[in-house]
Amino acid sequence: MTASYLSFQSFVDTSHKYFAASWGGLHWERQIRASAAPRRSPSGSGMSVLVTGAAGFVGTHCSLALRKRGDGVVGVDNFNAYYDPSLKKARKSLLASHGVFVVEGDINDGRLLAKLFDVVPFTHVLHLAAQAGVRYAMENPASYVHSNIAGLVTLLEACKDADPQPAIVWASSSSVYGLNDKVPFSERDRTDQPASLYAATKKAGEEITHTYNHIYGLSITGLRFFTVYGPWGRPDMAYFSFTRNILQGKPITVYRGKDHVDLARDFTYIDDIVKGCLGSLDTARKSTGTGGKKRGPAPYRIFNLGNTSPVTVPTLVSILEKHLRVKAKKNVIEMPGNGDVPFTHANITLAREQLGYKPTTNLDAGLKKFVKWYLSYYGYTRGSSKNSRQ
C-alpha cells in the first residue's frame, strides 16, 4: 500500500497526456444535463447516475438498463486499447442511440470529475472503470496502479467534495478471494492472500473505499463479480477468445489444474449482474458528509454477485461447440503460475437477502445468447470462417 500511495501523485502528474481538453463548453454541458435528467416519473424521482467505464462490458449493459427504466445516466470512459477500442466505440454508439452521453476522459482527471459534479448533482456513482485481466498484470503492472488505485482515489476525492455527496456502488472482484480454498466463497472469508496484482489492486480498493466511508461519510457498496459473460463482452475473456478461435479453425488452449483437475468458474450472465448492480443502487442509503466532512456513520457494504453453479472449462467448450456447430481443436496444458486460480464459487446469500438478487440464466442459455450476438456482430454465416470485422 505504501508503494501504491507514493506512486499515486507520480501517476497522476505523468498522465496529463490522457487529459486533453476534449470536454467543456456550453453545448457539452447541455448534453451532460440532458443525459443526466431522470425520466422515471412526472415528478422526476429517478436517480441521476455517473457511470465510469460506461463503454465497457458491464458499464454498457448497466447504463442501458438504467436509462430504459427512466434514470438519468452520464458515462465516462477513456477508451483505452487494452482490447479493441472499436468494440468500445460500438457500445458508445449503442448508448447514444438510447440517449446516454459518454464523456471521453480518464478518471484520474480530477478537473473533469469536478466539472461533472459541478454541472450535475449526481445522486449515485456506479464505478466500473478499471484495468481488468489477471494475466496482463504481468506485462503492464503500472496500468493497474494507474486505474485501480490512483483512479479510484481521484474519483473518491471528487465524490467526498461533491455537494450533495453521491452514494457509490463499485466493482471489486471475486479475485480478492485469491488462494482461499474454502468454498463457496463468502463475504466473511479471508481475502488477504491475493494470487495476482489485479486481485491485490481490487483488495486495496476495498480498503481504500472503507477509509473514505469512515472518514468522509461516503455510502459505499462493493460488488465482487464472478466471471461475467454475455453479448458485448470482453474479447480477452476465455469464452470470447474460444469462440473466435473455434470459428477460425485455430486451436484453443485449455488449462488444467494440479493433478489433472479441470478448472472451474462460477460463470455469471450479464443480465444477472446488471440486476445486482441496479439492486445495489436502489438500496444504497445516502452518504452523510457535506463539504468533505462526515456528519454521521454511512453504510459500507460488500456483496458477492455470482451464479452459484461453477462449471468446468471443458464443459464450457462443449457448450460452445454445440451452439457454434463446430468442433474445437484443443491443446490441454497445465495451468502456468500467472495469477489464475483453479476455481471460483460464490455464496450469494447476503445479496439475495439484502438486494433481492436471484440469478436466473444458466451457462447453456447464456452462451446461446452470446453466440447469437457474436455471429451477428462479427458478420459470420453458418459454416463459414469468414467475417466482416476480424
d(CA 368, CA 349): 27
DSSP state letters, 178-241: TT---SSB-TTS-----SSHHHHHHHHHHHHHHHHHHHH---EEEEEE--EE-TT--TTSHHHH
Q: Which of 136, 144, 177, 198 is catalytic?
A: 198
Active site residue 198: yes
d(CA 273, CA 355): 12
The SS3 call for residue 156 is helix
CA distances (Å), origin 117, targets 72, 100, 114, 322? 14, 17, 5, 48
Contact 155, 52 (CB under 8 A): yes
Q: Could you identify the residue written with the cell 436502489?
A: 282
List beta partners, residue 102: 75
d(CA 345, CA 79): 31
Handedness of CA 224, 229, 233, 234 (dihedral sign): positive
The SS3 call for residue 267 is coil
DSSP state letters, 66-110: HHHTT-EEEEEE---SSS-HHHHHHHHHHHHHTT-EEEE--TT-H
Q: Which of 191, 170, 172 is nearest to 180 (CA)?
A: 191
- For residues 253-283, b (16+ Cβ closer than 10 Å) or e, as one string? ebbbbeeeebbbbbbbbbbbbbbbbbbbbee
Cell numbers found for residue 147: 486505474
Beta strands in 105-173 (DSSP E): 124-127, 167-171
Hey, which residues are catalytic here? 198
